[in-house]
Structure 1
C-alpha cells in the first residue's frame, strides 16, 4: 500500500527507540518549539528542518514576489529554506530539485515550469519520505504530489473575461449583462500549454464569453479560438507581441481595421500585446481607441498602465496569502498531520485527485487600485505612479 505523505514524513524521524513528536508553531507563536528528531535521533529545533522551494523564473516579477514571500514566512516560522529559481529552464529545475532531495530537504514546495516533467524527481523525494506541495501550478502524471495550493483558476479565467466584457460595455460592475447590442471584434490569447493552469484560465474565460460569441455581439476577428491556436509558450511577452503583430497584419490591415478588445491571461503578455497595438497606431489610451486589454498578476508595470488608462484590467492574486497557505501546509506535514483542503475534487493530475486549497482573486481596474492594492500595502502609491517596485 502506498504510504501517505504524513506517514512518509513521520518515517524520516523514527529512531531506534521510536518516533519523536514535533511541535512547530505558526509564525507569531511562542518561541522554543521543538522539531522531530533527525535521522540521527535527538530532538531538533524548527530551523534544523529545511524546506526546498523551487520557483520557475526570476524574469517575472510575480515569481520573484512569490519566492520571497514563501522564504520569509518559512524563515519567520523557524525553518531553513533552500530557494532556487530555474530561469524557465526545465533541466535546471529538475537538477535543482534533485539537489534538494540529495542535500536532505525535509519538505518540498514546487512551482513547476512544466507540470509533466518532474515525475522522476518526485519519485526520489517519495523514496526519502519528503512531502511535496505543488505551488500554484499542479504537477501532473505522478502520485508523488501530496498537496496543492493555488487560486481558483477557473474563476480567474471567468474574471479575466468579465473584465474584458466590462471594458467593452457588455457587463456592469456587478458582472451583469447590460443588454448592449453593439457588435465588437476581439482576439484571444492564452498562457503556456505546459502549465496546467492555462486550461483552467482559458476554459473559465471562454465559458464566460460564450453567450456573447453565440449571439453575435462578439466576433473573434482572426477566427483563432482554440487553445492550441492562442497559447503563448512560457507566458512570454515577446512571443505574444509577435503573434499580435502577425494578427494585425493578417486580419486588421496593419492597424487600419477595428479591434475592440483582447483577452490576455497575464500582465507580461498584456504589455506585449499593448506594444504591438500602439506600434500599429491604435492610440495612446483607451479613449483614443486602444482596445480593451485584460491581464493577471497585478504586476506593477501593468498597474501603472491601468492607472494611466492604457491597460484596462488585471487580476490580483495576493501572493502573500498563497505563501501563507504553502507554509501552513508545510507545517502540517512537519507536525505529522495533513494540510487542510477546501477542494478534493477538481485537480486531477492524471494519476490522482490532489487535495487542494483554493484562494480567491479580485479584478483590478483604475477605480479600485487604491482599495485593493495600495490600502493592502501590496504596492505603494509611489510605486503605482512610477510603475516600478521600490
Structure 2
C-alpha cells in the first residue's frame, strides 16, 4: 500500500508539472488566402514554434476577400483568442477589427502588411528598401540600358507603395542619365497574376516587343508577365523579377524564363514571429523592447521587427535547397 501511494504521489507530481508547463493561450492567424503560398508556409512555421511554447494557433484563410477576413476575425475574438496575427487583405477595412480586439484586451500583430490608422502591438515585416534594392540591382546588372516596365503591388498595401517609392528613387539617376526608359509603370490591384498579364499585354499592344526588363514586385505578377511572353515565344529574352520564391516561380527561374525572385526565409520569419508572440504573451515583454524599427501607419508609430530578405537567381538557386525550402526534385519536376 505504501509503494502504491508513493507511485501515485510521483504521478501526481508529473501531472502537476505538465499542467504548469502548459499555456492556456491561443493565437488566431488571419491569412489573406490559401493560395498565398508564402503566408501559408510562414503561418505553419509560426504555429509549429508556438506549439513548442504550448500555445494553440487557429488559422483562417479569407480567399482575398476583406469582408470575409473581417468576419473571420470576429469569429476568432468570439472563440477567445489572446492575440491576433493579421496578414491583412486590406489594411484599411480591417482597422475596426483591430480597434475592437484591443478594446477587449486582445493583442494584435500586423504581419507583413501594414494595418493603417489604428493602434496595435507590433508589425512584423521585411525591409522594403532592401527588397527594392534587390530588384533594381538585379535588373540593372542584367540590363544596364533599355526599356523598363514596373509592376508595383496593390496601391492600398503600404508594402506596394513603399517598394515602388524605393524603386523610383533607385532608378532615377539611370533614367536621368538616359540609360533607362521606363515606358510603363502601374500598381496591380491584389498583386494579381491575371491583372499583371492584362496590363503587360496592353504594354506590348501599345509599344510593341521593345521591353527589356520588367520589375514585377511579386511572383504571381512576374509569372503573369512570363505567361504573355510565352505567347510570343520570347520568354527568357526579357528580364523579369518576382518576390516570395513560390515554387512555380523558382521553377520558372530554373527554366530560364523568370530571372530573379526575392526570398523571405519562411522558417525564420515564422519561427521568429512565434518567439515574439511567446515573449509578448507568456513573458509580458514590451513590443517596443523587442522591435528593431518603427513604422508610422497614418496615426501611430508601430513597434516593428524587420527580417532581411535575399535575392535568388539561377546562379544561387541551390540556396533554397540548402535551406530546406525545396528539393532539386521539386524544382526540376
Question: TM-score, normalised to structure 1's length?
Answer: 0.78
Aligned-partner SS, 1:109: strand
Task: Please name the residue that 1:121 is paired with.
Answer: 97
Q: Quick check: 2:125–2:307 contact (8 Å CA) kept in 1? A: yes
Q: Does 1:296 align with 2:272?
A: no
Q: Does 1:357 align with 2:305?
A: yes
Task: Please name the residue that 1:56 is paired with.
Answer: 32
Task: Please name the residue that 1:261 is paired with.
Answer: 213
Task: Please name the residue that 1:243 is paired with.
Answer: 199
Aligned-partner SS, 2:124: strand
Encode CA deviations 1:164-219: one digit per residue, 9 max, x unaligned.
11221x3xxxxxxxxxxxx4111111111221111121122222111111101110
Task: Please name the residue that 2:12 is paired with.
Answer: none
Q: Which has the higher helix share?
A: 2
Q: Quick check: 1:325–1:357 contact (8 Å CA) kept in 2? A: no
Equivalent-residue separation in structure 1 for 2:308 and 2:256 (angstroms): 25
Aligned-partner SS, 2:332: helix
Encode CA deviations 1:45-68: one digit per residue, 9 max, x unaligned.
31x211011110112222221222
Q: Quick check: 1:192–1:231 contact (8 Å CA) kept in 2? A: yes
Count of residue pairs the alignment pairs up = 314
Q: Does 1:94 align with 2:70?
A: yes
Q: Quick check: 2:154–2:161 contact (8 Å CA) kept in 1? A: no
Q: Does 1:210 align with 2:172?
A: yes
Task: Please name the residue that 1:136 is paired with.
Answer: 112
RMSD of aligned alpha carbons: 1.5
Query: Mind listing any 5+ residue stretches in structure 2 that lack a counterpart?
Result: 1-16
Encode CA deviations 1:275-295: one digit per residue, 9 max, x unaligned.
1122134x243xxxx210011
Q: Quick check: 2:28–2:59 contact (8 Å CA) kept in 1? A: yes
Aligned-partner SS, 2:147: strand
Match of 2:320 among 373, 379, 382: 373
Aligned-partner SS, 1:83: strand
Equivalent-residue separation in structure 2 for 1:34 and 1:109 (angstroms): 26
Match of 1:185 among 147, 150, 153: 147
Question: TM-score, normalised to structure 2's length?
Answer: 0.90
Query: Mind listing any 5+ residue stretches in structure 1 that lack a counterpart?
Result: 1-30, 36-44, 171-182
Q: Quick check: 1:329–1:338 contact (8 Å CA) kept in 2? A: no
Equivalent-residue separation in structure 2 for 1:33 and 1:135 (angstroms): 31
Q: Quick check: 1:88–1:113 contact (8 Å CA) kept in 2? A: yes
